[in-house]
Amino acid sequence: MTTPLLSRSGAPAVKSGSRRRRLSRREAVLAYATAVPAVVVMAVLLWVPVVSTVAHSFTKWDGITSTWTGLGNYASAFAGGQLLQLFQTNLVFLASIPGIFLICIITSVVLWERVPGWRFFRSVYYLPTVLSSAVVGILAKVLFSPQGAVNALLGQVGLSGLETDWFGHTGTAWAVLVGAFYWQTLGQGVLIFLAGLSAIPSEVVEASQIDGAGWWRRLFQVILPLLTPTVGYFLLTNVIFVLVDLFALVYVTTGGGPGGSTTPIDFLVYQKAFQDGDLGSASALAVLLLVITLVFSSLQILILRRVGGD
Amino acid sequence: MGQRLVRVVVVGLLSLLALLAVYPILFMAIGSVKGTFEFFDSPLALPRNWFNFENYRALASRFDLIRLLGNTGVYAGVALALSLLLALPISYALAKLSFPGRRILFGLVVGSMGIPTIAILIPDYLFFVGAGFGGTGVSVIGVWTARSLPGTIFLLTALLRALPSELIEAAKLDGAGYLKTMTSVVVPLSVPGLVTASIFSLTAWWNDVLIPVVFLQEGSAQTITGGVATLGQRLATQDFPLTMAGLLVAAAAPILLYLLLQGYIRRGLVMGAVK
């Protein structure tokens, strides 16, 4: 998608100097006038709030009055190596991304290579992806409740030794949460990897087949390198998701428990702000999250730009 | 022989994965027509009566379901109209008009795509409470619109850039002013982009939990997903079948939207991922 060189501004290049200047000034005025409404909305509800969050992260703030405390909020967030603990749940999810990546890529390649009915599978795998995290979370809560379907199934197949109070222990609670995340991500992965695979010229793959390369070697040495942008997109969107979008899932499923051990950072900001009324330290945590996310989203935008042009 | 065996195993595994993907959805549908006692007696069994809509009836009376659905529809409708009306002119300016500061503005828009909701939540909350809109749909519409603007503008700008400028020039030569050019050339030609952007915004809003929970709390102005989330938080075991019915209602719209508009959704998602 490239823009034709000449036609971007309305005026053909041969007009006389002053006329052209007048036309381009009119065009600029029109552009500003039509851009202003959207700019105002973004300024009032996005840009000023971001600045306000950053500014208030250096204060003690109750929503009405704020007193400057310098780096106090950050110091207490970093104190005693607490930071890792604060980000613990996000890190657990982050560590789970390679697993779902492998599941998605292997499923996609197998579907692409060997299954004539791959469209059907793609649609079925995608269904959970359209559901809200709230729906998925409550579903997980019911399925894994002590009297739920999972324990009942374990009992019926003679594995009653594995029946457990899934949300009573941090480890199993994480397992259920990550399972719900995997369940919702499979469809996205398969969808985009199949699209990426269909863009690979079939001669390339055939050549490597003649080479006699084994399936796994072909996957890692031939196919994956050709899918680099797609893989990058998948990893980045999911890294960003597990950093900033876990609130809904955790809020309904574990409520952050047991004992606050499955609380992701956005949930913690919510609790500090809207339950404890400590808006200053909530802002500081939000700023930490903002900085981390901006790094990852600028990487994502670099990838997106290849599509959007400019 | 070996090839065939591999194929059987592969299709078997893929089918198992497909079963895992749909089973919880089936479980939800089946559970929603069970009685409480029946549900706990045998959570895995098929329902005794497939047409037992008792839970749905209870949902409508105890949970004010119609109101929640209506709220969501109104908020999403207004936010969608607002975000498209705001995004289209600025996208056209960014794509087809030249003006000083164009790159900076585009950079700001693109940069805003990465702002997490949590980083604007507190000031936005205080803003709407201060303006007298605390606990009302206005606040949700405002934040939803603002959140979706950067992504919508980015998408529309990319698509409008690809519009042949000759068509726009031709309309101008015919004496069409700005408004006429927009309504007779630009809008009709950007319908696919507008649909894709709308689907993204609508699913994001319909599925949103954080903004409705923070801005509307437990009031009667709540959205369906926000209502389901608050219900889920205090979920008592005897309510499981009732909850399954509620979940199915909340899930119906996105599932329908997906089944009807699969092609658009796929194209939109793939746009960022391939090339």
- Which domain CATH number covers B109? 1.10.3720.10
A150 in the same domain as A27: no
Could you list the residue range(s) of the whole structural domain that residue B83 is in? 65-234
Boundary residue ending a domain (A263, A281, A300)? A263
- Distance of residue B71 Cα from the nearest chain A Cα, in angstroms: 17
In a domain, B24, yes or no: no
Chain B's closest residue to A232, CA to CA, is: B273
In a domain, B223, yes or no: yes
A191 in the same domain as A52: no
Contact A110 B255 (CB under 8 A): no
In a domain, B200, yes or no: yes
Contacts of A53 in chain B (CB under 8 A): 119-120, 122-123
A115 in the same domain as A36: no
Which of A290-299, B13-22, B209-218 is predicted least confidently?
A290-299
In a domain, A275, yes or no: no
List chain A residues with pLDDT less than 70.
1-16, 80, 303-310
A152 in the same domain as A244: yes
**Distance in angstroms (rounded) separating the CA atoms of residues B211 and A138:** 18
In a domain, A214, yes or no: yes
More reliable by pLDDT, A81 or B138: B138
In a domain, A304, yes or no: no
A104 in the same domain as A243: yes
In a domain, A6, yes or no: no
CB atoms within 10 A of CB B85: 12
Supply φ then ψ for residue A51, to 5 degrees.
-60, -40
More reliable by pLDDT, A90 or B242: A90
In a domain, A71, yes or no: no
In a domain, B199, yes or no: yes
Chain B's closest residue to A56, CA to CA, is: B123
Contacts of B118 in chain A (CB under 8 A): 244, 247, 266, 269-270, 286, 289
A147 in the same domain as A97: yes
In a domain, B72, yes or no: yes
In a domain, A279, yes or no: no
Is the Cβ of A43 closer than 8 Å to some Cβ of chain B? Answer: no
Please report the pLDDT score of residue B274 as a whole number: 60
**Distance in angstroms (rounded) separating the CA atoms of residues B247 and B239:** 12
| Dihedral angle sign, alpha carbons of residues B33, B34, B39, B43 | negative
With a pLDDT cut of 90, the percent of chain B lying above it is 49
A249 in the same domain as A191: yes
Which of B89, B121, B237 is facing A34, going by the closest CB pair?
B89
A91 in the same domain as A194: yes
Could you list the residue range(s) of the whole structural domain that residue A51 is in? 17-56
Beta carbons of B125 and B214 less than 8 angstroms apart: yes
Contacts of A309 in chain B (CB under 8 A): 158, 161
Is residue B214 classed as helix, strand or coil in its secondary structure?
helix
In a domain, A277, yes or no: no
Contacts of B126 in chain A (CB under 8 A): 63
Please report the pLDDT score of residue B172 as a whole number: 86
Chain A's closest residue to B168, CA to CA, is: A10
Is the Cβ of A149 closer than 8 Å to some Cβ of chain B? Answer: yes
A222 in the same domain as A106: yes
pLDDT digits (tens, 9 = 90+) for B76-131: 999 999 999 999 999 999 999 999 999 999 999 998 988 999 999 999 999 999 99
In a domain, B97, yes or no: yes
- The pair of structure tokens assigned to B16 is 């198992």
Please report the pLDDT score of residue A31 as a whole number: 95
In a domain, B249, yes or no: no
Q: How many residues are recorded in chain A?
A: 310
CA atoms within 13 A on the CB side of B37: 1
**Distance in angstroms (rounded) separating the CA atoms of residues A62 and A65:** 6
A51 in the same domain as A97: no
The ipTM estimated for the assembled molecules is 0.90
In a domain, A65, yes or no: no
Contact B42 A152 (CB under 8 A): yes
- Outline where chain B has alpha helix (H): 2-31, 36-41, 54-63, 65-96, 102-112, 121-130, 137-161, 165-173, 178-181, 187-189, 191-206, 210-216, 224-233, 240-273
**B210-214: average pLDDT:** 95
Confidence of residue B275 (pLDDT cuts 50, 70, 90): very low
What's the one-letter identity of residue B11? V
Please report the pLDDT score of residue A63 as a whole number: 85
Which of B120, B207, B208 is facing A53, going by the closest CB pair?
B120
**Distance in angstroms (rounded) separating the CA atoms of residues A165 and A155:** 14
Number of domains within chain A: 2
Q: Which residues of A267-304 are buried (b: 16+ CB within 10 A; e: fewer)?
A: bbbbebbbeeebbbbbbbbbbbbbebbbebbebbbebb
Chain B's closest residue to A156, CA to CA, is: B44
Number of domains within chain B: 1
Contact B209 A132 (CB under 8 A): yes
